[in-house]
Amino acid sequence: MTRPASSLAAIQQDRPTFGVWDVVAVVLVLGALVLVAEVGRGVGLPLDAIDETPISLDPLALPGYAARTALRMIVALGLSLLFTFTYATLAARSRRAELVLVPILDILQSVPILGFISVTIVFFMSLAPGRVLGAEFAAVFAIFTSQAWNMAFCFYQSLRTVPSDLIEASRCFRFGAWMRFWRLDVPFAMPALIWNMMMSMSGGWFFVVASEAITVGDTTVTLPGIGSYIAAAIAARDLGAILWAIFAMMIVIAIFDQLMFRPLVAWADKFRFDQETGAAPSSSWVVTMLRKSRLVRMAASPAAAAMRWSYGLSAARQGRGARHAADARRGRLADGVFLAVVIAAVAASVWQIAAYVLAGLSLAEVGTAVLLGLATMARVFVLIAIASLVWVPIGIRIGLAPRVAGIVQPIAQFLAAFPANLLFPIAVSGIVAFRLDPNIWLSPLMILGTQWYILFNVVAGATTIPTELRDVAANLKIRGWLWWRKVALPAVFPFYVTGAITASGGSWNASIVAEVATWGDDRLQAIGLGAYIADATAAGDTRRVVLGIAVMSAFVVIVNRMFWRPLYLWAERKFRLG
């Protein structure tokens, strides 16, 4: 039987052929390799080489600095994705692991980036003694700590809300655990995860100054990058250099948008739980290149074949895993033993922290840290409430309009990436000129970067609202506040809670930057735990740093356990689709 000529023409048209897209692919790959080689050339140099070539405020130096910062952020994002797939999956799949991993994640997202740096910088520097590579490890890890936690929370939330009918379908098709992860869990979570990856990249920009210009006590390491350029410009009160840094950030963010995030959004469009009939799909010239380039297809075919082979292994082992599933679930005694071990480990950790802190500090110092934590907590609650009132309705409108989302996406990335440090000239000058209270007017800097967690998660949630639900609401003429109360807000509420949790933890973290603002010789400080930790870190007072981090972590865990976690479980039960 012969195929119709039209069918043959269609097949030949869809088949990748050597052409202009192959040339584009080769140019991009070669350009990336040259960039990595050029940027990575200095990591093996002695650490003294950094001091011999101080940061230059010459705008011509910015392209090289931007390339090094971008490479650090890409490496950190890859590590964050690996952490997300392993940590969040274990927390969602194991009830016992969830009891430990989720509170640990609460603590990790609350630990300030300066706390991570002060504790880990000696370790990372020891991995490559006397070499720039050790400092690069420390900088990448610092950026990782600003990216990983919200991605893990987002993926965990998605795994907990996979529709039950999709789970039943995977069982009917005898998916193994490995195959279900890549064929169901990851595709279902991908739209929301990509928006959170954008937020994570923006969070890395927000803390890039602290990650590249590291000062802990007598140890000072300044790596070439946009962050260290901004720190030098602030110290020199060079407003022109700050404007050049903003321009360089805009260029790099636009490149990331075109080469990474816009292609990911277009690719993830096929994984949406619902596809609106007649809606224009997202598009990207990079996705077009990947689909039409024969070289890309040939290079990717071995990996695709290996993945298909691994699916077969997973399915083959399913039966054996099912036989042991009942044994894994039984036994309250095992749960009790596990919980006792966890409590003992936590008690031992608390005892060690208390013994270390109280060996050099008084109980009055602990009480002072707790009172400062209450002041910072009040700021966090007020700022999260204001950000929610502003960005939830805007995020829903953006998520329901794909074309608007495509326009807003790069703008939101830039605004989310905008470091609070760049507003210090305006903030400090304005507070000093008008004699304003720093305790009030420095507070908005805390939410500057973290409010976008709420917006990005709400946008991701709005994109998953099924068309059928919107059609039913339209047919029943549900409009106005009733539509918001019965359709929009319930649909995005689980996503909002995830965004609010990460925004809350991020605001605590950002208090390190926001409660102490400097512009040249002018220094303003608000009363709060963030300023306490910043001062202790700058002075190299490890005991006060540990005390501040412990108090901040305790506040975050208590608030999450008593408020956010119950709200999240309620949203998961009441508003789950399917």
Going from N- to C-terminal start, the domains of the chain cover: 61-272+281-318+337-574
pLDDT at 365: 92
Q: Return the CATH number of the domain spanning residue range 61-272+281-318+337-574.
A: 1.10.3720.10
**What mean pLDDT is predicted for residues 506-513?**
80
What pLDDT does residue 577 have? 56
Average pLDDT, the chain: 80
Instruction: Identify the band that residue 368 occupies on the pLDDT scale cut at 50, 70 and 90.
Output: very high
Evaluate whether 493 touches 572 at the Cβ level (below 8 Å): no
Residue 76: the pLDDT is 92
For the ranges 56-60, 173-177, 217-221, 338-342, the maximum mean pLDDT occurs at 56-60
Q: What percent of the chain has pLDDT over 90?
A: 12
Q: Phi and psi of 55, rounded to 5°?
A: -65, 130
Lowest mean pLDDT among 171-185, 389-403, 423-437, 438-452: 423-437
d(CA 540, CA 218): 7
- This prediction's pTM: 0.76
In the DSSP assignment, the letter for residue 422 is: G
How far, in whole angstroms, is CA 370 from its chain's centroid?
28
What average pLDDT does this structure show over 529-553?
Answer: 86
Instruction: Quote the pLDDT of residue 155.
Output: 92
For residue 502, pLDDT beyond 70: yes
Helices (H), 128-182: 132-160, 164-172, 177-180
pLDDT in tens, 280-309: 566 788 888 888 888 888 888 888 888 888
Please state the rounded mean pLDDT for residues 355-376: 89
**Can you tell me the mean pLDDT for 93-118?**
75
pLDDT at 552 over 80: yes
Instruction: Map residue 577 onto helix, strand or coil.
Output: coil
pLDDT (0 to 100) of residue 576: 62
Q: Which of 169-178, 185-194, 402-411 has the lowest mean pLDDT?
A: 402-411
How many whole angstroms separate alpha carbon 364 and alpha carbon 544? 12
Q: Would the pLDDT of 12 be above 70?
A: no
Q: Which residue has the higher pLDDT, 216 or 505?
A: 505
What is the phi/psi pair of residue 90, to 5°? -65, -40
Is a pLDDT exceeding 60 seen at residue 223?
yes
Lowest mean pLDDT among 15-19, 53-57, 120-124, 440-444: 15-19
Q: What is the pLDDT of residue 18?
A: 67
In this structure, of 40-44, 183-187, 230-234, the range with the lowest mean pLDDT score is 40-44
Beta bridge partners of 518: 523
Q: Is 405's pLDDT higher than 60?
A: yes
Render pLDDT for 316-327 as a digit per residue (tens, 0 to 9): 444 444 444 445
| Residue owning tokens 């910015």 | 62
Q: 321-330, 505-514, 533-542: which range is least confident on average? A: 321-330
Q: Which one of 44-48, 67-71, 536-540 scores highest in mean pLDDT? A: 67-71
- Residue 569's CB is within 10 A of a number of other CB atoms, namely 12
pLDDT classification of 27: cutoffs 50, 70, 90:
confident
Q: Output the pLDDT for position 195.
A: 79
The average pLDDT across 501-513 equals: 81
Q: Is the pLDDT of residue 67 over 80?
A: yes
Q: State the pLDDT at residue 382.
A: 93
88 — pLDDT class (breaks 50, 70, 90): very high
**Mean pLDDT of the 15-29 span:** 74
What's the helix, strand, coil split of the chain in %, to 5? 80, 5, 15
Query: What single string gives the DSSP state of each residue in 436-505?
Result: --HHHHTTHHHHHHHHHHHHHHHHHHHHTS-HHHHHHHHHTT--HHHHIIIIIHHHHHHHHHHHHHHHHH
Of residues 329, 406, 358, the one with CA closest to residue 546? 358
pLDDT tens column, 233-259 = 888 888 889 889 888 988 888 888 888
How far apart are the C-alpha atoms of 301 and 298, rounded to whole Å?
5
